[in-house]
């Protein structure tokens, strides 16, 4: 089978031929049809992601596909069932073996591409805004990187939860997408002062930040007393310093949020969130935005879009 694989730590990934895997006890084998790309994939290539697997490994963190075989002790989902699951690794391949208890059967009105590009981005935003930040109707939510893979979902979910949403992104084309997904106010990070615009709009009660760097600093200074700032990621490449004295004076809370970590220490929080989201998706209450799809032999092009921050919504590999 074909797989996008890292053979030795530090090597660039390549499309290679690997033996067909056999599912172990508790696992299913999927004939993979789609795999979402994530910024974390770029960090894995550099060995800088917190959950980078030991080499050799096949990349790909979230997949959709058809159950092809059962490991010992597994009877569900039945062979032939379309499912989505968080793989962590192994998704950028024609076949993969994964824990059966992570598989979520897909209704007919959800496509494989939607499902593969859905789990991490929407799961991160919903768990962050609902479970972690306790976003309330009527509060003001500032979303940085608002047209990116996770940022756009935060705009959409924030509106679904009744917040007033300020979307910050680079360029009018990206801001138009954020506006189409429900943003009430727009900030062009290329040309506008984030702090001044947010303060002129009354400040932020919750900040959703997958960018880091100078944008976090500006948002921190525009957050209202008793506000909450969600540290989602650092797409800028810069981890910002946090002035603890200002946190104290303004009674601010900075909240770290790593979605995949909940699988290890509190999986029910994650599974409850995903159940809510797949219900919303099936009902049409949320509409995943996939900006680009590529075949397996063009994964590098998809990753370049993420690296250069040129994508909007999700980039998905079809297999």
Q: Which CATH code, of 3.40.50.720, 2.40.50.140, 3.40.190.10, 3.10.20.600, is assigned to 120-260? A: 3.40.50.720
Burial string for 260-296 (b: 16+ CB within 10 Å, else e) reads bebbeeeeebbbebbeebbebbeeeebebbbbbbbeb
Sign of CA dihedral 75, 81, 87, 89: positive
The domain segmentation of the chain, as residue ranges, is 2-106+289-318, 120-260
Angle at 99 between CA 96 and CA 105, to 5 degrees: 85
What distances in angstroms separate CA 240 from CA 198, 209, 244, 252, one per listed residue? 19, 11, 12, 16
**Residue 26, token pair as written in the block:** 């508790």
Q: Are 187 and 168 in contact (CB under 8 A)?
A: yes
Secondary structure of residue 160 in the 3-state scheme? helix
Q: What is the DSSP letter of 95?
A: E
Supply the pLDDT for residue 65.
97
Supply the pLDDT for residue 153.
94
Determine the Cα–Cα distance for residues 73 and 50; give it in Å rounded to an integer.
31
Determine the Cα–Cα distance for residues 112 and 106; give it in Å rounded to an integer.
8
Is 0.75 topped by the overall pTM? yes
Supply the pLDDT for residue 126.
97
Supply the pLDDT for residue 270.
83
Supply the pLDDT for residue 144.
97
Q: What average pLDDT values come out for the chain (319 residues) when binned by 10 residues?
A: 91 93 97 94 86 89 96 95 92 96 88 90 95 97 93 95 97 93 96 97 98 96 98 88 93 94 86 86 86 94 89 88
Q: H/E element holding 249?
A: helix 244-250
Nearest to 116 by CA among 293, 298, 305: 293
Supply the pLDDT for residue 117.
85
Q: Are 286 and 160 in contact (CB under 8 A)?
A: yes
What radius of gyration do the chain's Cα atoms show?
A: 20
CATH class, 2-106+289-318 region: alpha beta
């Amino acid at each position: 089978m074909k797989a996008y694989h890292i053979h030795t730590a530090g090597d660039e990934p390549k499309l290679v031929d690997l033996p067909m895997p056999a599912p172990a006890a508790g696992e299913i084998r999927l004939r993979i049809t789609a795999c979402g790309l994530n910024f974390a994939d770029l960090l894995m290539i550099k060995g800088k992601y917190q959950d980078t697997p030991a080499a050799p490994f096949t990349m790909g963190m979230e997949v959709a596909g058809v159950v092809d075989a059962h490991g010992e002790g597994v009877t569900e989902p039945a062979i032939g069932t379309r499912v989505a699951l968080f793989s962590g690794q192994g998704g950028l391949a024609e076949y993969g073996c994964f824990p059966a208890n992570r598989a979520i059967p897909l209704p007919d009105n959800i496509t494989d591409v939607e499902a593969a590009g859905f789990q991490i981005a929407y799961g991160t935003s919903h768990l962050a805004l609902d479970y972690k930040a306790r976003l309330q109707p009527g509060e003001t939510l500032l979303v940085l990187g608002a047209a990116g893979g996770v940022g756009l979902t935060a705009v959409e979910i924030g509106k679904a939860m009744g917040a007033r949403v300020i979307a910050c992104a680079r360029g009018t084309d990206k801001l138009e997408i954020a506006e189409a997904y429900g943003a009430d106010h727009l900030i062009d990070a290329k040309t506008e002062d984030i702090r001044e615009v947010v303060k002129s709009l009354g400040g932020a009660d919750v900040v959703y930040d997958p960018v880091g760097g100078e944008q976090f600093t500006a948002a921190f200074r525009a957050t209202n007393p008793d506000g909450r700032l969600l540290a989602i990621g650092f797409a800028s490449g810069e981890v910002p310093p946090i002035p603890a004295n200002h946190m104290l004076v303004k009674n601010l809370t900075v909240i770290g949020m790593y979605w995949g970590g909940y699988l290890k220490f509190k999986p029910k929080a994650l599974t409850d969130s995903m159940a809510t989201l797949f219900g919303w998706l099936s009902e049409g209450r949320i509409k995943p935005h996939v900006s680009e799809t590529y075949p397996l032999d063009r994964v590098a092009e998809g990753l370049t879009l993420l690296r250069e921050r040129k994508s909007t919504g999700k980039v998905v590999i079809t297999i």
